[in-house]
Structure 1
Amino acid sequence: MDIFGNDMGGVGADTIEDCIEQCTRNTKACYGIVWIEEDKVCLPKGASTSYRSLSPKINATAVLNIPYQVEQDMNDIICPYPNLSTQKTRNGLEFQILCGANLSFDDLLSPLTDSESEMHANSLLECLENCAKLHPLCTRVTYNADRNGGSWLNCWLKQGVTSKATPDTRLMVHSAYALVPNLERNDCRNGSLVQVQGSETRFRLSCNDFRRINGTVGSIPQSYHEKSLQDCADRCGNKGSTCVAAVFDHEMWSGFQNCYLFDKMPGPGEQNSNYTFAYLDSLSSQYLAPPPKPAEISGKSWMAGIITPAIVIPALAGFYWYWARMRKSKKA
């Protein structure tokens, strides 16, 4: 089958799935595709594409969007929240709303979940929720509610401070800054114990200890936002919980949900001052410390680098003086 008209150019695609992906990521709204298997060509189709546009064609496959997915909700024309107001997500992260503003740059890719910064959201709130639960930390978003003038991937997750809010001529583009709280840094002593409040359960601490929170790509343990190491230990030690260890991210570098729970003892990770590892005291025999960091250049080596030239240069000068004198005496 073919779709008559409404062409938006052509791109290469080895499979029909690749062609649909091209349509999804098109900068303009894509309403359907035609994939020509023999030529490995993908033809995205624009507005006004419908089943009425279908026509027979050999070796071509046509796919249409489900109509309701591209129908514009008139409520999206206005910003859903007052400008500069604050909205809170389910996990407690607050955002300041910037109506009619666009944030360029700083799109991020999550190395922990292998997910990209562009995704689809049905509302600005859903886009905020996507940001709040992302690993690593997402600090700002831009959302485009225009289903006719934008791509299906209309929620951009960002990190950093490069993005500056600029007015957008499209009335349905809005952004938000995450109001990330500053957590109080707890003093940590290796081997010390933290007792779960209201329980006899105790956790032993390993300071500056980062354990892999994604044992396999795309997989992370249960995570929650907690304000302190004590709260994280309490979360892990709750009655009936299968949790045996936890990693607390003081700086929330890995995400706003900064308390990671493990149902089995994770292997050794690496030294990192942003993290504290807590494990059940009863599992102390299974604990393996993270490997030490590569040894830094010692003071002795540094001194050798300074002293050696001071010794070698005068020695060479003395040798040259001796050689020149002997040569002169031979000529005489």
Structure 2
Amino acid sequence: MLILARQSLLALACASAVIATPTPSTQADAVLTRDLAIRQDTIENCAENYTTKNGLAFKLYCQQNAPLSDAVRETTGAGVWFYTATWDECMEHCSRFSGDACYGMTWTVPGNHCWLKTSNVSTEALTPAPEAITALLIDRNQMKGYDTKCPNADLSDKPLPGVEGITYTTHCGKVIDEPPRCFEEFDCFDSDYRAFYHTETLEECLKICTGLHPLCRAVSWNPDLTAGYANCKPKYGNSPKFISPTAKQGVIHAAEIVEFDIPDTKCPEQNTYQATAGDKPRFDIHCGKTNPGRNITNLHTHNMTACIDACAASDKGCKAVLFSSTLDSGYNNCYLQNTSSIISDLSTSTYAVLADSDVPSSSPSNSSSPSSSSSSNPSSSSSSSSSGGSKAWIAGPVVGGIAVLAALIFAVFWWRKRKASKEGAVEKDAQNAAYGSVPVHDAEQSYYRQDGAQGGRAEMYTPGQTNELPGSIKYAHNASEAQELP
């Protein structure tokens, strides 16, 4: 009987495998054809204009190619392309290129090749190309640059207007000898495309620096835009080294923040606080706690109560705050939140939430709302309401069905594995065949994360958190062959 049952099960598994195995078809070809058709439609019906995330405006020319005038070149002078998933990503790279200032781009399919263009590109040079999109600057004055004179006396100290507690030192005609850095507020590209911000003044660049995460302590600023539109380059600035820029970098002035307002590290003695702003709501304070709620915004405050008052004064539905007593995560150390989540331990932070809010905890705590902790205890449901028990009948059929399905899947897997191992052994013995190497992932290839919306940031910066700007996957691999478009 057992043998018969096993044979029946194997027969059923074999039948399932036969039914599930697709017959030879052109499915892969159909997918490829559809993908090419979508990209071709993008080429033929491209948008008229596009403005990059950092403000550089382009006019698009559908099915047009701009030969020559390549900004990315080999040492021989031959142009080099790199891959971007879409034409707009190609323009984003143009706006952030640190090299010969980028005035346009050409993007071609089916290879998704991005070619950046110098100031020599023009509409007169455009040629018809069914598989290309070209974008040129709408207003070349965007690359005109600003007054190159150092805004302050060399090595002078000055408070940063509009930002309390910040003093900076100006280094005229100097660049910070530090690699390009990534911050959570913008997508991180390869090093040649890592700069993002464009500013008219050194102080504007510094103000951006104070709002970045992790902590930004210094900036290099290129007023003449010689090295590209993204002329404000924030740095971590840990013991920065200031050197003279090369001729290719153009005129650069640097600034280092030398004085910060240091937050109060002492948690309030009372576990509640009545806000002095807005409707003066009451907040429950949790010292040494953190909470990955949804951030509305962040700002700098000297202490916890000032952070709570900022929440009470907000018109964005602020329900909680997270205050960091260190500046490692960034100068803006007060995070206003409109949601709450599980609180957990973090010695350098303090969390406060509107009183009577139901905030679950990841560990036992002396929270003032014991009812919430008891409701989160699974054992408390044993003496539960009828609603909890009324759904128990679902478990029997579901578990039984899952068990049968699991047994069937295991039988199919076991039968195929046994069959494959026998065939493999026979073939190896008969032919003494050698096994070739398995393709491996290229360790040099770069990947960029897919970021969510601005509100998804966790409470404080840690590597890998989402950034505030809308993100998309970006690629910039200058590892292709040197060649030029026809």
- Normalized against structure 1, the TM-score is what? 0.73
Q: What are the Cα deviations for residues 242-289 of structure 1, in whole angstroms up to 9, with x where unaligned?
A: 43321111113332222122234x112432111101122333xx1333
Say whether 1:54 aligns with 2:117: no
Report the residue type matching 1:224 in the other structure: L
Alignment of 1:154-193 (within 5 A): 154-170=231-247, 172-178=251-257, 179-188=259-268, 192-193=271-272
Report the residue type matching 2:355 in the other structure: D
Between the two structures, name the one with larger relative contact order (CA 8 Å, sep ≥ 6): 2
- Answer yes or no: is the 8 Å Cα contact 1:106–1:162 preserved in 2: no
Q: 1:205 aligns with which of 258, 278, 285?
A: 285
Tell me the distance in 1 between the aligned counterparts of 2:237 and 2:152. Answer: 24
**1:205 Cα offset (Å):** 1.5
Tell me the distance in 1 between the aligned counterparts of 2:110 and 2:205. Answer: 39
Tell me the distance in 2 between the aligned counterparts of 1:169 and 1:108. Answer: 20
2:355 maps to: 281
Tell me the distance in 1 between the aligned counterparts of 2:351 and 2:267. Answer: 13
- Answer yes or no: is the 8 Å Cα contact 2:178–2:240 preserved in 1: yes
Matched residue SS, 1:212: coil
- Answer yes or no: is the 8 Å Cα contact 1:268–1:291 preserved in 2: no
Report the residue type matching 1:146 in the other structure: D
Go from structure 1 to structure 2 and tell me whether the alpha carbon gap of 1:270 and 1:38 turns closer, same or farther (over 3 Å shift).
same
Tell me the distance in 1 between the aligned counterparts of 2:182 and 2:320. Answer: 27
Q: 1:268 aligns with which of 342, 345, 352?
A: 342
Alignment of 1:224-235 (within 5 A): 224-235=299-310
Tell me the distance in 2 between the aligned counterparts of 1:244 and 1:253. Answer: 25
Tell me the distance in 1 between the aligned counterparts of 2:314 and 2:95. Answer: 45
1:7 maps to: 70
Q: What are the Cα deviations for residues 86-140 of structure 1, in whole angstroms up to 9, with x where unaligned?
A: 25253434432222111132644334x4644621313223322221222332221
- Answer yes or no: is the 8 Å Cα contact 1:15–1:37 preserved in 2: no
CA-based RMSD of the aligned residues comes to: 2.9
**1:146 Cα offset (Å):** 2.8
**1:230 Cα offset (Å):** 1.9
- Answer yes or no: is the 8 Å Cα contact 1:107–1:159 preserved in 2: no
Q: 1:152 aligns with which of 229, 232, 237?
A: 229
Moved over 6 A (4+): none
Go from structure 1 to structure 2 and tell me whether the alpha carbon gap of 1:125 and 1:53 turns closer, same or farther (over 3 Å shift).
farther
- Answer yes or no: is the 8 Å Cα contact 1:221–1:261 preserved in 2: yes
Tell me the distance in 2 between the aligned counterparts of 1:34 and 1:240. Answer: 45
Q: 1:119 aligns with which of 169, 183, 196?
A: 196
**1:58 Cα offset (Å):** 4.2
Report the residue type matching 1:125 in the other structure: E
Q: 1:105 aligns with which of 173, 178, 198?
A: 178
Tell me the distance in 1 between the aligned counterparts of 2:350 and 2:311. Answer: 14
Tell me the distance in 1 between the aligned counterparts of 2:90 and 2:230. Answer: 15
2:210 maps to: 132
Matched residue SS, 1:231: helix
Go from structure 1 to structure 2 and tell me whether the alpha carbon gap of 1:236 and 1:23 turns closer, same or farther (over 3 Å shift).
closer
Report the residue type matching 1:99 in the other structure: C
**1:54 Cα offset (Å):** 2.3
- Answer yes or no: is the 8 Å Cα contact 2:216–2:236 preserved in 1: yes
Report the residue type matching 1:46 in the other structure: T
Tell me the distance in 2 between the aligned counterparts of 1:52 and 1:105. Answer: 40
- Normalized against structure 2, the TM-score is what? 0.51
Mean Cα displacement is larger for which, 220-229 or 46-55?
Answer: 46-55
Go from structure 1 to structure 2 and tell me whether the alpha carbon gap of 1:158 and 1:289 turns closer, same or farther (over 3 Å shift).
same
**1:227 Cα offset (Å):** 0.9
Tell me the distance in 2 between the aligned counterparts of 1:263 and 1:193. Answer: 19
- Answer yes or no: is the 8 Å Cα contact 2:216–2:330 preserved in 1: yes
1:42 maps to: 114
**1:180 Cα offset (Å):** 1.9
Higher strand share: 1
Percent identity, aligned pairs only?
A: 24
Q: How many residues get paired?
A: 280
Go from structure 1 to structure 2 and tell me whether the alpha carbon gap of 1:89 and 1:109 turns closer, same or farther (over 3 Å shift).
farther
Tell me the distance in 1 between the aligned counterparts of 2:199 and 2:111. Answer: 35
Go from structure 1 to structure 2 and tell me whether the alpha carbon gap of 1:168 and 1:50 turns closer, same or farther (over 3 Å shift).
same
Q: Structure 2: where are the runs of 5+ without partners?
A: 1-63, 72-78, 189-193, 365-486
1:17 maps to: 88
Report the residue type matching 1:138 in the other structure: C
Report the residue type matching 1:96 in the other structure: T
Go from structure 1 to structure 2 and tell me whether the alpha carbon gap of 1:34 and 1:154 turns closer, same or farther (over 3 Å shift).
same
1:307 maps to: none
Report the residue type matching 2:183 in the other structure: S
Matched residue SS, 2:183: coil
1:306 maps to: none
- Answer yes or no: is the 8 Å Cα contact 2:268–2:304 preserved in 1: no
- Answer yes or no: is the 8 Å Cα contact 1:100–1:167 preserved in 2: yes
Q: 2:144 aligns with which of 72, 95, 107?
A: 72
Mean Cα displacement is larger for which, 31-40 or 271-280?
Answer: 31-40
**1:188 Cα offset (Å):** 4.5
**1:209 Cα offset (Å):** 0.9
Matched residue SS, 1:221: strand
Go from structure 1 to structure 2 and tell me whether the alpha carbon gap of 1:249 and 1:61 turns closer, same or farther (over 3 Å shift).
same
Tell me the distance in 2 between the aligned counterparts of 1:241 and 1:12. Answer: 42
**1:200 Cα offset (Å):** 6.0
Tell me the distance in 2 between the aligned counterparts of 1:196 and 1:202. Answer: 6
Q: What are the Cα deviations for residues 30-51 of structure 1, in whole angstroms up to 9, with x where unaligned?
A: 1222233245433322222222
Higher helix share: 2
- Answer yes or no: is the 8 Å Cα contact 2:186–2:196 preserved in 1: no
Go from structure 1 to structure 2 and tell me whether the alpha carbon gap of 1:206 and 1:107 turns closer, same or farther (over 3 Å shift).
farther
Report the residue type matching 1:175 in the other structure: A
- Answer yes or no: is the 8 Å Cα contact 2:296–2:336 preserved in 1: yes
